[in-house]
Structure 1
Amino acid sequence: MALTHIDEHGKASMVDVSDKPMTCREARAFARISMQTETLKHIVNNSLKKGDVLAVARIAGIQAAKKCADLIPLCHPLALTKVGIEFEVDEALSCVDILSYCKLTGQTGVEMEALTAASVAALTIYDMCKAVDMDMVIEQIYLLEKSGGRRGHYQRESTMGKSS
């Protein structure tokens, strides 16, 4: 399979999507941030000085999805119609799992937006908690699922570190 963002001369190039049909496109992504047990308790109890960690991380993830084209070279600016961020607190593993969702009707996919949303939500959790725990680890950032477009539906077979 040829790389789509390289032109015939081997130079980076933004893909021309003008001939692609408008279709409903959706993507879901995952990220995990692991931390000390005490840090997770602070998040759950909303007892950090910086405020409600998960509420701020949700807004940051949504904003990041909307700014993806400004952050990732060669991404198309997209008119997203939905961005969602959900959190699952796993006390047994002392982590927060982040699930992002992006949707639009357009000519290119929203995978990068979903991945960026999950990543920035995790970075925001790190930023808000670093005063009490600099040993946090952001890990397992990956695409869970995408639909729409020429390649159709994709769903990750393995959920890697997901506890279930």
Structure 2
Amino acid sequence: MKPMTFDEIQDPIIAMRWLSNVEGCFFTCSCPTDQKVRCALNMPRSRSKDWWRLMTRLYTDDHRAAVTCDQFKEMFRTRYIPQVERQWLAYEFLYLRQVMESVAKIRRVFTERTMFCPKFVSEQAQIKHYLSVCKTDIRPFVATQRCDTVLELQEASRWREIEIELQLWEQRQVPTQL
């Protein structure tokens, strides 16, 4: 499956992606539950490998082999996705506003930060919040669209952004009258 390796990057979003990729590999390969930690431990590199050795230095071989996948994930989250960072990313999500950013950038940030706000799991909650994030020249347009998913809402936002850009371009093309 060639899952991505992990090298102690101090970025909780990258760490969450890595954990998600590992879980995806387990699912795809039908990895037996008792082998998941053993498989996951082949992916950390250098400093993150050192972290695992340090965490388990006092474990016996049997104790180390008995670490469950859930225990491993909790240990990993504690180290690479600390609670303070999760709270900060949730705060960024809750107060996210599109000012000068493109729809593409806001979409990316919105999606990344959603992982840290479990109360925004439902599609309707995400739609409502995404509307509050949109620029004032985009929000009224997309609010009137019938969008059943966040993806549809983001696409409508992009269409509106393109329309605004075209209008500005056309205004620059009109010769001024003397």
Higher relative strand content: 1
TM-score by length of 1: 0.25
Higher Rg: 2
Higher relative helix content: 2
